[in-house]
Amino acid sequence: MKKIVITILLICLVLSFVSMTCAAALKFAFMPGIADPFYFTMEKGAKAKAAELGVELIVGEYPKAWGPEYQVPILKALVARGDIDLLFTAPTSTEALIPVLKEIYDSGIPVITVDTYLGDGDYSKPSNYNFPLSYIGTDNFLGGQVVAGQLALLLGGKGKVFLENTNPDVSSVMDRELGFRAGLKIFPDMELVGVEYCLDVQETAVAQVSAALQKNPDLDGVFGVNVFSAQGAYQAVVSAGLEGGVKIATWDATETLIEALKRKELDLILAQMPGEMGSLCVEWGFKYLTEGAEIPRKVIPGFFVFTQENVNDPDSQKYIYK
Ligand code: T6T
C-alpha cells in the first residue's frame, strides 16, 4: 500500500513538473507585412531559432496586399488570443500602425519592429512611437546608396534612370529611395528622370515602368526597390525587348530575379537577410524575457549584392530567399 501511495505521489510530482515546464514555454507572435518570399524566409529563420530555444512561434495570417487596412485586423486577432508574450512585426506604415501597436504594448506585450519602423525609427528619444524594444532590419538608406553607385558604375557614370517604388509611407522603401537619390548625387552626369509608387502591386509596377520607357526612349537604367516593384520593372523592360540595353537594378533575392540575373537579363540584386532578421527577433526577445537583457534599439543585419559575375558562386547561394 505504502509503495502504491509513493508511486502515485511520484507520478503527480512528475506531471506537475511537466505541466509547469509546458506553462513556462514562451509564446512569440510574428505578423508579416505581406505574402512574399521575403517574409516567408523571415518566418523560416524565426522558426528555426524558436525551435532551438523552445519558444512557441505563432504566425499571423499573411496579408494578401500591403497596407494597414489588411494588417491591422489580423494583428488584433493575433493578440486577442491573450497568451502572447512578445510580438514582432513589420509595420506597413510609419504612422498608421502607431496607435494599434501602442495599444498592444500598453496591454503588456513587448513589441519589436522588424524590417520596417515607426516614425523616424529612432526609438531612443522621447516620442509617441518609442515604445518598441528595437528595430531589427536592413540599413535601407545605405543599400539605396550602394545600388545607385553600382548602377552608375554599370553606366560609366553617365545616364538617365527611373525609380519604381511602392508606398511613400513605408520606412524601408522610402529609405531606399532617399539613399538612391543621395548616391546618384555623387555622379553629376547621372539623372533621375522619374519616380512612381505601385503600392506593392506588381501589375501596377509593370504599367508604370512601361509608361516610363515610352516617355523616356533614352532611358539607361531602372531601379525596382522591392520584390513586386523589381519583378514588375524587370517584366516591363523584357516586354519592351530592352533587356541588356536598359540596365536593371533590383532589391530582394527571389528565385524569379535570381534566374533572370543568371540569364543576364538583369544586372544586380540587393539581397537582404530576412532569415537572420527573424532569428534575431526571437533571440533578442528570448534574452529580454528570460535574462532581462537590454536589446539595442537598432539591430542591423548586413546585405549582399548579387551581380552577373557572382550569381553562380557557391558562397552566394545562401543569400537567395527560400
Ligand atoms: O523588400 C521587402 C521588405 O523589406 C519591404 O519592407 C517590403 O517589401 C518586401 O517585403 C519585398 O516585397
pLDDT at 197 over 90: yes
Residue 15 has pLDDT above 70, yes or no: no
Pocket test for ligand 1, best of 113, 173, 199 (most atoms within 8 A of CB): 173
* Average of per-residue pLDDT across 124-133: 98
Residue 226 Cβ contacting ligand 1 at under 6 Å: yes
Decide the pairing of beta strands 304-307 and 268-271. antiparallel
CATH level 2 (architecture), domain 140-271 = 3-Layer(aba) Sandwich (3.40)
Mean pLDDT (whole number) for 121-125:
98
Residue nearest to atom 2 of ligand 1 (CA): 226
CA of 247 to the centre of ligand 1 (A): 22
- Cα 5 to averaged position of ligand 1 atoms, centre (Å): 61
What is the rounded average pLDDT of the residues 203-215? Answer: 98
Average pLDDT, the chain: 94
Residue with CA at minimum distance from ligand 1 atom 12: 227
The CB of 252 under 6 Å from ligand 1? The reply is: yes
Each domain of the chain, given as residue ranges in start order, spans: 26-137+276-301, 140-271
Other Cβ atoms less than 10 A from the Cβ of 15: the count is: 10
| Minimum-distance ligand 1 atom for the alpha carbon of 171 | 6
Give this prediction's pTM: 0.93
Q: What is the dihedral of CA 230, 232, 238, 241, to 10 degrees?
A: -120
Q: Which residues contact 129 (CB under 8 A, 6 or more apart)?
A: 98, 102, 118, 119, 123
Q: Which of the residue ranges 10-14, 56-60, 103-107 would you say has the lowest mean pLDDT?
A: 10-14
Q: Quote the percentage of the chain above a pLDDT of 90.
A: 93
Q: Which of 99 and 4 is assigned the larger pLDDT?
A: 99
**pLDDT confidence band for 7 (50 / 70 / 90):** low
Are domains 26-137+276-301 and 140-271 of this chain identical in fold?
yes
CA 172 to ligand 1 centroid distance, Å:
7
How far is ligand 1, taken at its centre, from the CA of residue 10, in Å? 53
In short, whether 276's Cβ falls inside 6 Å of ligand 1 is: no
Q: In what order do the strands lie in the sheet with 190-197?
A: 190-197, 159-165, 221-224, 247-251, 268-271, 304-307
Ligand 1 center–CA 272 separation, angstroms: 9
The residue-averaged pLDDT of 19-37 equals: 82
Which tops the pLDDT comparison, 321 or 20?
A: 321
- Chain segment 245-265, per-residue pLDDT in tens: 999 999 999 999 999 999 999
Residue to substitute in 34, 38, 176 for testing ligand 1 pocket (most ligand atoms within 8 angstroms of CB): 38
Burial class of residue 40 in the structure, from the number of CB atoms within 10 Å of its CB (0-12 exposed, 13-18 middle, 19+ buried): middle
pLDDT of 83 > 80? The answer is yes
Q: Quick one: pLDDT band at residue 218, thresholds 50, 70, 90?
A: very high
172 lines ligand 1 (CB under 6 A): yes
The yes-or-no verdict on residue 20 having pLDDT over 50 is no
At residue 2 the predicted structure's pLDDT band, cuts being 50, 70 and 90, is: low
* Average pLDDT rounded to a whole number, residues 141-151: 98
Atom 9 of ligand 1, residue of closest alpha carbon: 226
Residue 17 pLDDT level (bands cut at 50, 70, 90) = very low
Asked if pLDDT for residue 16 goes beyond 80, the answer is: no
> Which one is the CATH code of 26-137+276-301: 3.40.50.300, 1.10.10.10, 2.60.40.1180, 3.40.50.2300?
3.40.50.2300
* Confidence category of residue 22, pLDDT binned at 50, 70, 90: very low
